[in-house]
């Protein structure tokens, strides 16, 4: 049996990688990491745990249709494994929240590879911790949006997190204000360059992809 673990390595601080994740990384003979342009961000975050490991980069360009790449990547993983072995694929945040791994595991399963995951701390959990701001409390509802915010949902929820804020940022802030939300912008949470902004114009001027908006009604 061949096995693939999707390992969530959290938002960026290596100290936020779970003990279970570290044990699996250190026990794997090969480690797969996603790469977009220059270096693998996931690989650099987990770097201290990769000494002596064979690290294999899989290319998934951001903003591209990567369906064929997922198929090829799964085949690469399958070819790299012997029966009885396991390998790990590192991904930012959690492997089952807006992650490349979700699409890769579909193709891996088609090849007969057993798939498991290790949860990681999400960027919005880390941001809420940084702000010491509850995401949601009893009898409230929370909305996680991937760039595009649905106003009909805003009418029914008490708190919101918007990821990939470079998409329609001004429109997003307009919608939040229109529905009575106060908001905070968090950039590069737990990483070098971390920044918290609440001023609308300052938020609009910042164009960092690794950012999010947390908002509360009232």
- Mean pLDDT throughout 81-100? 95
Please tell me whether residues 143 and 89 are part of one structural domain. Answer: no
Asked if residue 26 and residue 107 are part of one domain, the reply reads yes
**Among candidate residues 103, 118, 133, the one where a domain is terminated:** 118
Q: Name the band, by pLDDT with cuts 50, 70 and 90, for residue 88.
A: very high
Q: What is the pLDDT of residue 63?
A: 62
Which pLDDT score, from 0 to 100, does residue 213 have?
98
Instruction: For residues 185-200, give the mean pLDDT.
Output: 97
Count of domains forming the chain: 2
- Under the banding of pLDDT at 50, 70 and 90, the label for residue 60 is confident
Residue 89's pLDDT is 98
- Regarding whether 151 and 212 lie in a shared domain, the answer is yes
Please state, in angstroms and rounded to a whole number, the distance separating the CA atoms of residues 67 and 33.
17
Domain that holds residue 191: 123-217
Confirm if 171 and 195 have CB atoms less than 8 A apart.
Answer: no
CATH number at residue 200: 3.30.950.10
Quick one: 95 and 197 in the same domain? Answer: no
Percentage of the chain modeled with pLDDT above 70: 98
Predicted TM-score (pTM) of the model is 0.92
pLDDT single digits (tens) 12-55: 999 999 999 999 999 998 999 998 677 788 999 999 999 989 99
Residues 140-159 have pLDDT tens digits of 999 999 988 999 999 999 99
Mean pLDDT of 177-185: 98
Show the tokens assigned to 198.
Answer: 């609440």
What 3 state SS string does the chain have? CCEEEEEECECCCHHHCCHHHHHHHHHCCEEEEEECCCCCHHHHHCHHHCCCCEEEEEECCCCCCCHHHHHHHHHHHHHHCCCCCEEEEEECECCCCCCHHHHHHHHHHHCCCEEEEECCCCHHHHHHHHHCCCCCCCCCCEEEEECCCCHHHHCCCCEEEEECCCCCHHHHHHHHHHCCEEEEEEECCCCCCCEEECCHHHHHHCCCCCEEEEEEEC
pLDDT higher than 80, residue 79: yes
Domain shared by 147 and 197, yes or no: yes
pLDDT of residue 158: 97
Q: Which of 72, 90, 118 is the last residue of a domain?
A: 118
Residues 133 and 80 occupy one common structural domain: no
Average the pLDDT over 156-171 and give the result: 94
- One domain for residues 110 and 132: no
- Once rounded to an integer, what is the mean pLDDT over residues 71-80? 96
Asked which of 53, 85, 118 is the last residue of a domain, the reply is 118
Q: From CA 42, how far away is CA 25, in angstroms rounded? A: 12
- 195-211 average pLDDT score: 96
Percentage of the chain lying above the pLDDT 90 cut: 87
Residues 107 and 150 placed together within one structural domain of the fold: no
**Does 177 lie in the same domain as 83?**
no
Task: Identify the pLDDT of residue 6.
Answer: 98
Distances (CA, A) of 92 to 14, 72, 104: 11, 21, 14
Is residue 194 pLDDT above 90, yes or no?
yes
């Amino acid at each position: 049996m061949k096995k693939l673990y999707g390992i969530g390595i959290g938002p960026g601080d290596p100290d936020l990688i779970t003990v279970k994740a570290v044990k699996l990384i250190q026990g794997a003979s090969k480690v797969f990491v996603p790469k977009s342009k220059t270096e693998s961000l996931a690989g650099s975050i987990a770097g201290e745990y990769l000494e002596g490991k064979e690290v294999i980069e899989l290319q998934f360009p951001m903003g591209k249709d990567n369906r064929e790449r997922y198929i090829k990547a799964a085949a690469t993983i399958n070819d790299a494994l012997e029966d009885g072995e396991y390998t790990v694929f590192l991904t930012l945040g959690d492997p089952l929240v807006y992650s490349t791994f979700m699409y890769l595991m579909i193709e891996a399963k088609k090849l007969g590879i057993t798939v498991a995951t290790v949860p990681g701390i999400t960027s919005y959990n880390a941001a809420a911790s940084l702000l010491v701001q509850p995401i949601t409390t009893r009898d409230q509802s929370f909305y996680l949006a991937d760039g595009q915010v649905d106003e009909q949902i805003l009418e029914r929820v008490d708190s919101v997190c918007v990821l990939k804020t470079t998409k329609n940022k001004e429109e997003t802030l307009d919608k939040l204000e229109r529905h009575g939300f106060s908001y905070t912008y968090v950039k590069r949470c737990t990483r070098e360059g971390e920044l918290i902004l609440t001023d609308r114009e300052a938020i609009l001027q910042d164009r960092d992809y690794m950012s999010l908006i947390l908002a509360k009604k009232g």
